[in-house]
Amino acid sequence: MTVALVTGASGFIGSHLVSRCLDDGFDVKALVRKGNSRIGQFRRQGVDVVEGDLRDRDAVHRAVHGCDFVFHSAALASDWGDWEEFRAVNIEGTRYICEASEHEGVRRLVYLSTYEVFDHFRLERLDERVPYTKRGEQYPDTKIEGTEVVWHYKERGLSVSVVYPSLVFGPGDNTFFPLLADAIRKRRFFYWQGRAGLNLIFIDNLVDLLMLAATHQDASGEDFLACDGNGITLEELCMSIANRINVPAPSICLPFGLVHFLAHVTELVYSAVGSEKRPLLTRQAVKLLASKVLVDTGKARRLLGWEPTVPLGKGVEQTLDWLVSVDPADWKKK
């Protein structure tokens, strides 16, 4: 039997990966933090749960032991937080995963990176040949270093594949759609680049690509951008969300430069007082929602035959159906 490990299994992307692996007939292991609320559910599904943390080297080795494929989707993914925590999870945790995968001789390690490793805000077009760019932001910078760890182990002979998703959305999303809906519902959202096309990827389409990255012979040693295109603008998405939750759509639009400046000031204030709470605005979020880059997914289509099976409009509709079924009080819970 083929065994696949999913790290970050209790998260949005990881939980969908677990379901797909089970559907495809894999035996599934999951590395999950002790006390996680989904442990019981996973065990009822037949998942072999290893309780532990990415920062625990022994737990990582126990999780990887006996696996054919490793999907490393766990990460500290936020636009705010302590640098040392980001480094411990996104860099050292990835190093432990690579080390264990090499030791166990896994057939393929699939690393979930992010298109945030590229400075896409300053680009018109993005493909895998563009170099990574650090810019003093916790998540992108530590994901760059984590990705470089993976490439280091590739040079040592480990079969790896790296995927860079754009903004991931779908039923179960615990960040993008719920946070946007919460801000719209509370009349706290305004535009700064409303007509920019959003680079989105629906969860099912991303999981399709991750499975190909694990099993396709031509995926070894390669990296792939994952995006469904930018066929919907931020303004259009906000209007769709507002219509579904029966509130007025945002109508205020401020200059990008002003909003970016306000985000910078807000970050400085939060840092000065030592706040762990995420600011309402961060420079990373402001740039992410203002990016006009065109993401080229030709490599995944050409090498792996990947095509998004769920059209963007249908994915948005399914996600909104799920969103309105959730208690608004839970929209901001991660």
pLDDT for position 194: 60
Contact 73, 133 (CB under 8 A): no
pLDDT digits (tens, 9 = 90+) for 23-48: 999 999 999 998 888 999 999 999 99
Confidence of residue 279 (pLDDT cuts 50, 70, 90): confident
pLDDT at 334 over 60: no
pLDDT for position 256: 87
pLDDT digits (tens, 9 = 90+) for 288-299: 888 889 999 999
For the CA atoms of the chain, what is the radius of gyration?
19
Nearest to 15 by CA among 34, 3, 36: 36
Confidence of residue 332 (pLDDT cuts 50, 70, 90): low
- Residue 249 DSSP one-character state: P
pLDDT digits (tens, 9 = 90+) for 203-261: 999 999 999 999 999 999 999 999 998 789 999 999 999 999 999 999 888 888 898 89
The mean pLDDT value for 54-60 works out to 95
Taking each helix axis from N to C end, the angle separating 312-323 and 176-185, rounded to the nearest 10 degrees, works out to: 60
pLDDT digits (tens, 9 = 90+) for 138-157: 999 999 999 999 999 999 99
72 token code pair: 């490393």
- Calculate the average pLDDT of the chain: 93
The position carrying tokens 């509370």 is: 186
Counting DSSP H helices and E strands in the chain, the numbers are 13, 11
Which amino acid, 247? V
Q: Give, rounded to a whole angstrom, the gap between the first and last alpha carbons of the chain.
A: 34
- Residue 125 DSSP one-character state: E
Name residues whose C-beta falls within 8 Å of residue 189's C-beta, 6 or more positions apart in sequence.
180, 183, 238, 250
The mean pLDDT value for 317-328 works out to 92
The mean pLDDT value for 95-124 works out to 96
125 token code pair: 């077009």
254 token code pair: 């401020």
Confidence of residue 333 (pLDDT cuts 50, 70, 90): low
C-alpha 278/C-alpha 235 separation (Å) is 24
Half-sphere exposure of 176 (CA within 13 A, CB side): 25
Residue 66: how many other CB atoms lie within 10 Å: 13
pLDDT for position 300: 98
pLDDT for position 291: 86
Which residue has better confidence, 15 or 188?
A: 15
pLDDT for position 196: 77
**Domains observed in the chain:** 3-171+198-228+293-309 (3.40.50.720)
Of the candidate ranges 10-14, 160-164, 255-259, the one whose mean pLDDT is the lowest: 255-259
C-alpha 181/C-alpha 175 separation (Å) is 10
Nearest to 168 by CA among 283, 9, 287, 12: 12
Name residues whose C-beta falls within 8 Å of residue 220's C-beta, 6 or more positions apart in sequence.
108, 159, 160, 161
Name residues whose C-beta falls within 8 Å of residue 172's C-beta, 6 or more positions apart in sequence.
12, 15, 16, 203, 322
The mean pLDDT value for 167-178 works out to 93
232 token code pair: 């919907």
Confidence of residue 80 (pLDDT cuts 50, 70, 90): confident
